[in-house]
């Protein structure tokens, strides 16, 4: 890892690193917030997966997680949303290619060479974090929009690796949404049976989640029809899955929404990780 930047924040340290990724075949960048408690010993980890068009930087600077992480003694990891760089395939559309990795392992050309964000999060970056930072091997995961989709699907498929789970306005049923069908067909092919492992609602129906689940959704979100929170809420009720889907009056899809409820989510994870 190469340290790119470091800034003092709420008694802790906000750091940015870059490293060569064998999984994605390019250089990757991620941010890590270490709370002041990390100076005295390893702390639990909260992963935050960002949404479409974002890099590691958006939530790091706009999400407001550092203050709450410092109070609760959690490290926060902000990965990038896709491979990047010269030679990495891209698309002119904002919702495919660089900035839109969808946290899957692509199996189709031209994406399959670099777009392996599922393995990157679950295996490579996780190992880098545990081996190089003062953290416990105890992890929670959350995310926003495409990142909320990533958080729920990754956690359910890897319940032994994650101990707490939440999401902000996740793409909850991508196999039935234009935010999902386009990307899953491009990355995985047209056989929809290969898409189910990347649909939060379908995974919850098949496997459930070992703990309780917190989801916040803005009731004034301009993308509600694409996110389909009602599918996830209905599945939670049908499966009797412990948790909450909270519709927050007046809130949209922006980082103002994420920032407003970051404290709740950090406290939620801290209670389950400590």
Can 253 be counted among the known catalytic residues? Answer: yes
- Label each residue of the chain as H, E or C: CEEEEEEEECCEEEEEEEEEECCCCEEEEEEEEECHHHHCCCEEEEEEECCCCCCHHHHHHHCCHHHHHHHHCCEEEEECCCCCCCCCCCCCCCCCECCECCCCECCCCCCCCCCEHHHHHHHHHHHHHHHHCCEEEEEEEEEECHHHHHHHHHHHHCCCCCCEEEEECCCCCHHHCHHHHHHHHHHHCCCHHHCHHHCHHHHHHHHCCCCCEEEEEECCCCCHHHHCHHHHHHHHHHHCCCEEEEEECCCCCCHHHHHHHHHHHHHHHHHHHC
And the tokens for 84?
């990047």
Q: Which of 80, 199, 216, 221 is catalytic?
A: 221
Contacts of 145 (CB under 8 A, 6+ apart): 51, 52, 168, 169, 170, 171, 223, 227, 253
Catalytic position from the list 145, 164, 166, 177: 145
Question: How buried is residue 86: exposed, middle or buried, by Cβ count under 10 Å (0-12/13-18/19+)?
Answer: exposed
d(CA 91, CA 120): 21
Q: Which of 149, 198, 253, 265 is catalytic?
A: 253
Just list the catalytic residues: 145, 221, 253
């Amino acid at each position: 890892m190469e340290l790119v930047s470091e800034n003092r924040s709420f008694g802790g340290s906000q750091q940015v690193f870059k490293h060569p990724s064998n999984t994605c075949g390019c250089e990757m960048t991620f941010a890590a917030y270490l709370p002041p408690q990390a100076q005295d010993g390893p702390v639990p980890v909260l992963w935050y997966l960002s949404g479409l068009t974002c890099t590691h930087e958006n939530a790091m600077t706009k999400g407001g997680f550092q203050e709450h992480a410092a109070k609760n003694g959690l490290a926060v990891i902000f990965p990038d949303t896709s491979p990047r760089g010269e030679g990495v395939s891209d698309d002119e559309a904002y919702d495919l290619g660089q900035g839109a990795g969808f946290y899957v392992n692509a199996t189709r050309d031209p994406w399959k060479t670099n777009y392996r964000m599922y393995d990157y999060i679950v295996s490579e970056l996780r190992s880098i974090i545990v081996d190089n930072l003062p953290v416990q091997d105890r992890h929670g995961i959350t995310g926003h929009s495409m990142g909320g989709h990533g958080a729920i699907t990754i956690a359910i498929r890897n319940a032994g690796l994650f101990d707490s789970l939440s999401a902000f306005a996740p793409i909850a049923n991508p196999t039935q949404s234009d935010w999902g069908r386009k990307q899953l067909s491009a990355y995985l092919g047209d056989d929809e049976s290969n898409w189910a492992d990347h649909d939060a609602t379908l995974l919850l129906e098949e496997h459930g989640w070992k703990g309780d689940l917190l989801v916040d959704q803005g009731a004034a979100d301009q993308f509600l029809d694409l996110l389909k929170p009602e599918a996830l809420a209905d599945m939670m009720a049908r499966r009797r899955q412990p948790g909450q889907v909270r519709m927050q009056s007046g809130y949209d899809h922006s980082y103002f929404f994420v920032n407003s409820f970051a404290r709740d989510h950090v406290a939620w994870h801290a209670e389950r990780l400590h």
